[in-house]
């Protein structure tokens, strides 16, 4: 699946890449073998898993901070959270989803891969964003294919410390989402830091980084289901 040369190219050469490569390929193989039948992904081919799960997620490793806590929201089958945790075993990760079917799968993988830096939580984000120990407690929030940016920021920014960043994995057509998220960012205390495009195979991806520049008002996140039904705009 992944090769050492590819991993060295993305992360930079390091002796620990041997261990990371083994873990990433074991993770990819589990997705290929069981991901579709367990209902955590529609992808099944090794090439798609390699490109859209492993390589795409790995790009975020290159912008993670030197220290701190990371929470992967709407983690689904563990993407990008498990890949980020393998790439940065020195950081503390929380992977969360509201679907227990998915968090059970992630817990199995955490155990199989012996990822001691990962905790799995089953909770709705509207509740988690108000909970002590989670609200404004993280240096990084990561999310892939979870929601449009104006909805995603309402889930993510309440979890971030001031100075923390949201890493939003997006496709190439981001301009409309950025425009629609302007009010949400202002209301929630965030601003766009940078959006970086990159190619994997014949597809283009974008990692959009949102910086939290002010505390989020206690009214956010709103109650269950409201952020999706009535996005800030």
Helix residue spans in 64-112 (DSSP H): 81-87, 100-112
**Distance, CA of 77 to CA of 93 (rounded, Å):** 15
Per-block mean pLDDT, blocks of 10 residues, the chain (233 long)? 95 96 98 94 92 96 97 97 98 97 97 98 95 97 94 97 97 85 95 94 93 97 90 84
What residues does each domain of the chain span? 67-229
Cβ-count burial 167-188 (b if 16+ within 10 Å, e if not): bbbbeeebeebeebbeebbebb
Q: Which of 99, 93, 60 is nearest to 77 (CA)?
A: 99
3-state secondary structure (DSSP) of residue 89 = coil
49, 31 Cβ separation under 8 angstroms: yes
* Token output for 167: 């890493």
**Distance, CA of 110 to CA of 118 (rounded, Å):** 7
Cβ neighbours, 10 Å, residue 77: 24
pTM of the prediction? 0.95
Cβ neighbors of 114 (< 8 A, separation 6 or more) are none
Give 32's Cβ-side CA count (13 Å radius).
16
Give 67's Cβ-side CA count (13 Å radius).
0
**Distance, CA of 51 to CA of 128 (rounded, Å):** 31
Domain 67-229 coded CATH 3.40.50.150: yes
Residue 171: its pLDDT value, please? Answer: 84
Number of H helices, E strands in the chain: 11, 7
Residue 233: its pLDDT value, please? Answer: 76
Residue whose structure tokens are 């960043």: 165
Pairing of strands 138-144, 118-122: unpaired
**Distance, CA of 118 to CA of 9 (rounded, Å):** 25
**Distance, CA of 54 to CA of 10 (rounded, Å):** 11
* Token output for 27: 């993770």
Pairing of strands 92-97, 118-122: parallel
Residue 69: its pLDDT value, please? Answer: 98
Give 96's Cβ-side CA count (13 Å radius).
21
pLDDT in tens, 76-126: 999 999 999 999 999 999 999 999 999 999 999 999 999 999 999 999 999
Residue 122: its pLDDT value, please? Answer: 97
């Amino acid at each position: 699946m992944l090769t050492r040369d590819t991993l060295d190219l993305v992360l930079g050469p390091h002796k620990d890449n041997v261990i990371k490569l083994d873990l990433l390929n074991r993770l990819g193989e589990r997705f290929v073998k069981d991901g579709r039948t367990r209902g955590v992904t529609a992808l099944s081919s090794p090439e798609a898993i390699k490109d859209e799960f492993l390589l795409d997620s790995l790009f975020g490793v290159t912008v993670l901070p030197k220290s701190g806590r990371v929470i992967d929201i709407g983690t689904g089958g563990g993407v990008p959270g498990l890949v980020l945790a393998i790439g940065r075993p020195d950081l503390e990760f929380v992977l969360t989803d509201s679907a227990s079917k998915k968090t059970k799968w992630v817990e199995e993988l955490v155990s199989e891969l012996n990822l001691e830096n990962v905790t799995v939580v089953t909770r709705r984000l509207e509740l988690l964003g108000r909970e002590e120990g989670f609200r404004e407690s993280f240096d990084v929030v990561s999310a892939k294919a979870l929601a449009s940016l104006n909805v995603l920021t309402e889930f993510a920014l309440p979890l971030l410390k001031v100075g923390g960043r949201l890493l939003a994995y997006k496709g190439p057509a981001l301009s409309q989402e950025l425009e629609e998220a302007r009010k949400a960012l202002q209301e929630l205390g965030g601003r766009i830091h940078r959006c970086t495009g990159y190619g994997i195979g014949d597809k283009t991806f974008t990692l959009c980084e949102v910086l939290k520049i002010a505390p989020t008002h206690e009214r956010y996140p709103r109650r269950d289901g409201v952020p999706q039904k009535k996005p800030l705009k």
